[in-house]
A and B are shown apart, each in its own frame.
Chain A
Amino acid sequence: MGRLVLHRLGATIPVLLLVTAGVFSLLHLTPGDPIDVMMAESVDATVKANLRRELGLDRPIAVQYVAWMGRVLRGDLGRSVRNGEPVIENVGRRIRPSLQLALLAMAISLLIAAPVALASAVRRNTSIDRAGTTFALFGICMPNFLLALLLIFFFGVTLRWLPVSGYTDPAEDLIAGVRSLVLPAVTLGLALAAVITRTLRSSLLEALTEDYVRTARAKGLSEWAVIRAHVLRNALIPVVTVLGLQLGTLIGGAVITEYVFGLPGVGRLVVDAVFARDYPLVQGVVLLIAAGFIASNLLVDLLYGWIDPRIRIR
């Protein structure tokens, strides 16, 4: 186990280098720079040139990248070009709502997906199964933004049960915080539930045909005991994979949901930073999101070993 962790951490370094170098070059190859955006109204070219020099934006991309890397290694992610705020503070503040949203969305998706998938798999090819499959198809096909607007219309504007948009930190006010997160979490959770339902259903169906299941049934175990002890655990591996990948996606990629509900999350932060060509901010966020992805994948790998000891031995 210790070796696995070390091995995976070692592999992290080239991945992070590749990701940051890739983003750095792409960003600098995109037309426009932060000075153009900040000084859209200023007319003096020398002012802009001076500022570019001051911020080191006039140097070759490779030199800028090495300088940035050097600072990162010393633990300094730099400051936003736009407003001078340290990148680490900015991201630190924005990661909270993103994490809360991601975890709540996952919880909602599991609460929906587990029973639906189980019912579908156990009652295969019945109307229950077809209803489950239809639900999953609906969840996958429904665009995020449309679902979000429909939820807002029903629960925010018409019924007025939940706030239309905005964010309250549950740590400050638990009830208001959860209320502000419910609609966005359902928006994300429904789509995720659909993915998990389909994955779990097919892996359950596969496990149900295994020899050990037949043996367990032959031993006279009740159907529920068979599913609980033998089927479910073996069917979990693909689901854990999906969840692990989705955690990373939800934290950095819930842009549309964050945008529609006005949640101050990481996804919106990085998109706004790209539009403003705020290089240090984009770089910092991408670095942290990449590290988060790697961490959640590592967690998934460790979970594999816990769920299925055979993987641990290998």
Chain B
Amino acid sequence: MAAMEPGRNAQSVSRRAFLGWCAAASGAPAAVLGARRAEAQAPAPKKGGTLRVGFYIEAATMDPHLSGSKIDRQVYHNIYEPLVTLDVRLGIKPGLAESWTQPDVRTLVFKLRRGVKFHDGTDFNAEAAKFNFNRMKTEPKSVRKGEVASIDSVDVVDPYTIKINLKRPDAALLATLTDRAGMMVSPKVIQERGSELERNAKGAGTGPFEFVEWVKDDHLVIKRNEAYWNKQGGPYLDRIRYRPIPDDTVKLQSLQAGEIDVMDYVAPRDVAAVKADRNIVVVDVPSLAAFSYQLNTTRPPFNAKALRQAVAYSLDLDQIVKGVWLNVGVPANGPVPPSSWAYDRTIPPIKRDLARAKAKLAEGGQPNGFGFTMTTANIPINIQEAEVIQAQLGEAGIAMKIKLVDAATQLANGNSRNFDMISYQWSGRPDPDGNSYQFFKTTPGTSLNWSGISNPQIDALLDRTRETFNAAERKKLFSDLTRILQDELPMIYIVHPIEPKAFAPRVQGYEPIPDGMMRFKDVWLK
């Protein structure tokens, strides 16, 4: 089950158990925080109270079109609404769009919900939606450009219908529109406030909560939208107060001391202790993330496929996930996470095989081993993982140096392909396309394809995953892709982490969705 009872004993999470939860999350009605299975009569939700949420960092911007930070989305999913939303099984359900049709592979028609108003009182309608898509495509600072690249134009059919004309078929677009690229911002606010929207989102959204104030590095407050269009369920909470608490230990202590009610993420080293604490409820949320290393295929040593394989066969993923991640995650077989409908459990993660690694070393012309440098972020869990990998490779005769860098340097090194092997921790996207296309497709210029892989077979497969709309067929394509990637190895996948969240027992009604976003519409305080 995706939700845990308070006081559940700390126990390690096996791969099988994790896959079990993912299956549960995708096949059975998901457990909701506070709705215990044994309780036939759940207490009725009540209105009121302030929910205090602790985040590991500060939000970066309140403008979803300019946002490149995961933490921003946590706030957005309460004040803004996308055209379509995710359910607990990562299925797509109506959001600001009531329904949609696909007359042909290059056209997507959305019927928009009537009677929805932005918090500034203006109407949400087809013109507003068109305005948003145009802004995402043309605003110079837009970070959404890549996500809406397949959209050629948007037509207003009638006041509550838009037609999206695509440059090419894009089976992943609907899933993309469940997040920032589908979020609708009040055109009036954008026009009147301009760049101030980045710091002040008053009136900007349509969601169950309205932006109140943001005192940078101190708190961000949102309040209940009394005029929310959806009268079913919440919003119940009067207010939500987000606070950045950068230190993991202090954040946990804040929860234990009752200063916050929710923490967004429990670090693996704290999970066992937190689960043993009867005053804290932990919800293990399977994530969409894939943590990996990109190998630079454009220069030695990793332009030799055999040497990439030698590294992969030298690694013991089970040991890494057990020793470094303390089983708060599962070994990865590729880019698609177990929480996804496209995950293929018949493909095992690459197993350690030193004899095979040695053979690959010889095949790559380095029978006595070789040396290279790993570039990784200077944070504790990355350093631990790097050290374990260093030791494992050492046993195969591969000498790895570790270079620790900050995030900006890592991005610069990656974009300029100035690395041998570089860590890449991708938070994941609801559609497997978001975990694969931009990493492996041959593209000119900058992209997330830092490895420089350019393989016609992979390119063709990736294109087909966008042109195929049948889920079963798409799943098979992603399985094929995963198998090819296990052989080509532009990236070595290590772990699909679990992202546990912790709550005070008075918090009720939280529904964990594997994208890790905390939507508080139906959350209430006991």
Contact = CB atoms under 8 A, between A and B. Distances in A.
B408 A268 contact: no
B217 A82 contact: no
Contacts of A165: 245, 247, 250-251, 253-254, 259
Given A43-B146, A153-B253, A260-B250, A38 B68 contact: yes
B408 A277 contact: yes
Interface in B51-110: 58, 60-61, 66, 68
Contacts of B412: 31-33, 36
Given A157-B257, A259-B246, A262-B245, A43 B68 contact: no
Contacts of B145: 42, 44, 47
A46 interface: yes
8 contacts: A31-B412, A38-B141, A39-B68, A42-B68, A83-B61, A85-B199, A160-B257, A262-B246
Given A43-B443, A164-B254, A264 B68 contact: no
B223 to A, nearest CB: 20
Interface string B406-421: 1111111101001000
A47 B137 CA distance: 11
A167 interface: yes
A199 interface: no
Majority SS of interface residues in chain B?
A: loop
A259 B199 CA distance: 22
B253 A41 contact: no
A31 B253 contact: no
Interface residues of B, number: 52
A195 interface: no
A309 interface: no
A149 B249 contact: yes
Interface string A143-173: 0000001001100110010011111000000
B382 interface: no
Interface string B182-221: 0000000000000110110000000000000001111000
A164 B140 contact: no
Contacts of B61: 82-83
Interface string A80-107: 0011110000100110000000000000
Report, as a range, how many residues of chain A touch the other chain.
35 or more
A164 B408 contact: no
A33 B410 CA distance: 11
A38 B199 contact: no
Contacts of B146: 41-44
Given A42-B142, A83-B199, A261-B250, 6 more contacts: A32-B406, A156-B253, A163-B259, A164-B254, A165-B247, A264-B218
Given A38-B143, A165-B254, A260 B247 contact: yes
B446 interface: yes
Interface in A42-68: 42-48, 50-51, 54
B217 A268 contact: yes
A261 B244 CA distance: 10
A165 B259 CA distance: 9
B134 interface: no
Nearest to A45: B445
Q: Pick the 10 closest A-B CB pairs, nearest first.
A: A32-B408, A45-B445, A264-B217, A32-B412, A45-B446, A31-B412, A43-B447, A84-B195, A43-B146, A36-B411
Contacts of A264: 215-218
Contact of A30 (B66, B217, B409, B411): B409
Interface in B400-459: 405-413, 415, 418, 438, 443-448
Interface string B150-170: 000000000000000000000
Nearest to B254: A164
The residue among A30, A54, A164 with the most chain B CB atoms within 10 A of its own CB is A164
A257 B80 CA distance: 35
B50 interface: no
Interface string B372-407: 000000000000000000000000000000000111
Contacts of A38: 66, 68, 141, 143
A218 interface: no
A276 interface: yes
Contacts of B143: 38-39, 41-42
A37 interface: yes
A73 interface: no
Contact of A46 (B199, B258, B445): B445
Given A165-B250, A260-B247, A275 B407 contact: yes
A311 to B, nearest CB: 41
B411 A262 contact: no
Contacts of B246: 259, 262, 268
A44 B438 CA distance: 11
Contacts of A153: 253
A1 interface: no
B197 to A, nearest CB: 9
A50 B140 contact: yes
